[in-house]
Amino acid sequence: MATGKSISKTRTVRSQLGEVVLHLRQVQSAVVVAVAALKQQNCELDEDIATVLQRSVADRIQDQIDRLEATLRLVSNLDRKR
């Protein structure tokens, strides 16, 4: 019975991590659209703002997505070994 609970917890963790990754991808998409819009306006200050958004937000979000996906792979591997 303990194994069943453990597998259930693993699936819950995987599900929650998957939801976080999905949410981060949606936020990242919004930032990418904002960056593109600012660059398209071609105003000097807009380009600077776009660069800050890209480097400070979008790139950091991608780093977190990569870390979460690696964690998801680890959880999946642990689940398979059971």
Flag whether pLDDT at 3 surpasses 70. no
Q: If we measure between CA atoms, which residue out of 26, 17, 23 comes closest to residue 76?
A: 17
What integer best gives the mean pLDDT of the chain?
Answer: 84
pTM of the model: 0.67
Average pLDDT on 65-78 reads 88
Q: If we measure between CA atoms, which residue out of 73, 35, 71 comes closest to residue 52?
A: 35
The band of 49, judged by pLDDT with boundaries at 50, 70 and 90, is confident
Residue 79 burial class via C-beta count within 10 angstroms: exposed 0-12, middle 13-18, buried 19 and up: middle
Q: Determine the structural domain holding residue 11 and report its residue range.
A: 2-81
Average pLDDT on 16-27 reads 91
What is d(CA 44, CA 63) in angstroms, rounded to the nearest whole number?
Answer: 28
What is d(CA 39, CA 49) in angstroms, rounded to the nearest whole number?
Answer: 9
- pLDDT tens, residue by residue, 54-66: 888 888 899 999 9
Q: How many structural domains is the chain composed of?
A: 1
